[in-house]
Amino acid sequence: MPAEALSASREAQAASPLVRVSGLEKVYSTRDSGNVHALNDINLDVAPGEFVTIVGPSGCGKSTLLKVLAGLLDKTAGHVDLAGHPVDGPTRDLGLVFQAPVLLPWRTVIDNVMVPAIVQKLDHKASRKRAEDLLRMVGLAAFAHRYPGELSGGMQQRVGICRALVHNPAFLLMDEPFGALDAMTREAMNIELLRIWKDQQATIMLVTHSIPEAVFLAERVVVMTPRPGRIAEIIDVDLPRPRHVEMFNTPEFGTYVRAIRRHFDSQMELD
Amino acid sequence: MSQTQADFAAEQSPEAQAPTSEALPQATAARRPWREHPLLSPALFLVLLLLWEALVRIFEVPKIVFPPPSAVIVALYDGIVSGLFLPHFLVTFYEIIAGFFLGAIAGISLGILIGLSPLMERLIYPYIIALQAMPKIAIAPIMVIWFGYGLTSKIIITATIAFFPLLANTIVGLRSAPKDQIDMLKACTATDWQIFRMVRLPQALPFIFVGPTSPSSSR
């Protein structure tokens, strides 16, 4: 993989990136173990409409990076721009999906999906229509008036994704959204997410600890290594689209997976 | 006798028994131990009343010292029929309701203030706990001096009793909202008020009404 050459060409093409991260540092100060350097010199541009996955072992700061991008965490140093504006708090044009569905149990499915629209005081009728459309898209139209407790984990996670999309954000951040799902459901959700990405023309940044998932979904995979969390490599994935489950078994797919895994093998040897 | 027979029959091998669907519930009913009977506790009450009545009569205790249950029942009946109890009952009822609502309003609103503001917690919560540690009965005479013998002193005392559990439950309830739910709302640009209304308050309601956690039992 001539990764350097590819990322160089990518830089040229990303004239006006949606996300521009440069020299980002994040240091947590804890009482007992001193300062923890969670992110170290993160540089990353994401073009509009791009699907970028971030992969790495636990503790490599990938969730921290997402939280900083979402405006939920303050950065220690560096620059984070979203659509040309520095991030200094949550922005309206952003959808966030968590590892757990994080639904409000006292609200029905459709009322959960409506939460961002209500918070942002968007037109109620239009938003409700969109919420219904999104639920139909993920096959949950029949469950709109049920409560989250009546749904399975995979269904709840789909509701969480609909909620992240209801206010039509240009930018979708997903923090290990399928980590808690079984392998079968996870594959189906990956296919569904690619369809949503195509339909909604959103820019997606997805964090995962699954290397195959990272390769399968992404146009670019950001490989992060821990202590301190930094970007080890950014790999362009040149697999054809639309992607199919059968691709998991192709030699090309295996090449990408191995190229990424190498980073973590060497990491382990260092330990 | 019939119970032991049923027990014995039930212990036979299932093939030999081949119980029909009608026979099965009967067998389980017969086998239910007496200690699970629903009238057990009322029966104990009855036994204690009879014991009390018998002891008072046998030892000829004067009514004025320790009246038997029969005398109590007669007095209760007379009081209700003569119309003596009703107005007093209504007054006490009013004192309880008014006192509870006063205490609840104060407890919940102060609980919201402390639950949402760490500054307020540091500032006033220690004093509220200190006041709570004081037995209400001990300050009752002072309440009477301050507010007189009328309704007010009783309402105030009731309010102080209702106040603390509701305050503590409100604080615990408001703090019980999972961080992810709050982050989710923050990420879509919710204001503090929206987070309070959409997550913190609904999370706190079961705590306020039921008080499932330890502070409620500290009364």
Residue A15 pLDDT: 56
Identify the sign of the CA torsion B103, B108, B114, B117: negative
User: Quick one: tokens of A138?
Assistant: 């993920």
Distance from CA of B190 to the nearest CA of A (A): 6
CB contact under 8 A, B189 and A70: no
Nearest to A19 by CA among A75, A72, A66: A66
Residue B28 pLDDT: 54
pLDDT above 60: residue B40: yes
User: Quick one: tokens of A150?
Assistant: 């009546």
Q: Are A47 and A18 in contact (CB under 8 A)?
A: yes
CB < 8 Å to B189, chain A: 89-92, 119-120
Interface test with A, best of B184, B201, B207 (most A CBs within 10 A): B184
Residue A69 to residue A88: CA distance in whole angstroms: 9
If pLDDT is split at 50, 70 and 90, which confidence band does B29 have?
Answer: low
Of B184, B186, B189, Cβ closest to residue A120: B189
Write out pLDDT tens, residues A126-154.
999 999 988 988 889 999 999 999 999 88
Of B180, B183, B185, Cβ closest to residue A119: B185
Helix, strand, coil in percent for chain A, rounding step 5: 40, 25, 35
Residues with Cβ within 8 Å of B15's Cβ and at least 6 positions away in sequence, in order, are: none
**Which residues of chain B have a Cβ shorter than 8 Å from any chain A Cβ?**
178, 180-181, 183-190, 194, 198-199, 202
Nearest to B112 by CA among B192, B212, B178: B192
Q: Are A173 and A82 in contact (CB under 8 A)?
A: no
Q: Of all residues in chain B, what percent carry a pLDDT higher than 70? A: 82
Verdict on whether the full-model pTM lies above 0.90: no
Average pLDDT over residues B56-74: 90
Of A67, A91, A96, Cβ closest to residue B184: A96
Residue B30 pLDDT: 60
Residue A131 to residue A118: CA distance in whole angstroms: 12
Distance from CA of A164 to the nearest CA of B (A): 9
Residue A9 to residue A15: CA distance in whole angstroms: 11
Residue A137 pLDDT: 83
Closest residue in B to A160 (Cα) is B184
DSSP character string of A106-120: TS-HHHHHTHHHHHT
In eight-state DSSP terms, residue A143 is G
Per-residue exposure over B185-212, b if at least 16 CB sit within 10 Å of its own CB, e if not? bbbbbbeeebbbebbbbbbbeebbeebe
User: Quick one: tokens of A134?
Assistant: 């999104």
Closest residue in B to A68 (Cα) is B187
CB contact under 8 A, A102 and B189: no
CB < 8 Å to A67, chain B: 183
Residue B163 to residue B157: CA distance in whole angstroms: 10
pLDDT above 50: residue B197: yes
* Helix A124-137 with A153-165: angle, nearest 10 deg: 140
Q: Does A128 touch chain B (CB under 8 A)?
A: no
Q: Are B190 and A119 in contact (CB under 8 A)?
A: yes
Residue B73 pLDDT: 92
Rounded CA Rg of chain A? 19
CB contact under 8 A, A71 and B187: yes
ω into residue A148 within 30 of 0, thus cis? Answer: no
Q: Are A217 and A209 in contact (CB under 8 A)?
A: no
Distance from CA of A77 to the nearest CA of B (A): 21
Of A89, A102, A120, Cβ closest to residue B181: A102
CB contact under 8 A, B186 and A102: no
User: Quick one: tokens of A127?
Assistant: 């938003």
φ and ψ of B191, to 5 deg: -80, 165
Residue A57 pLDDT: 83
Identify the sign of the CA torsion A212, A217, A220, A222: negative
Of B180, B181, B194, Cβ closest to residue A119: B194
Cα–chain center distance at A170: 13
First to last CA, chain A: 26
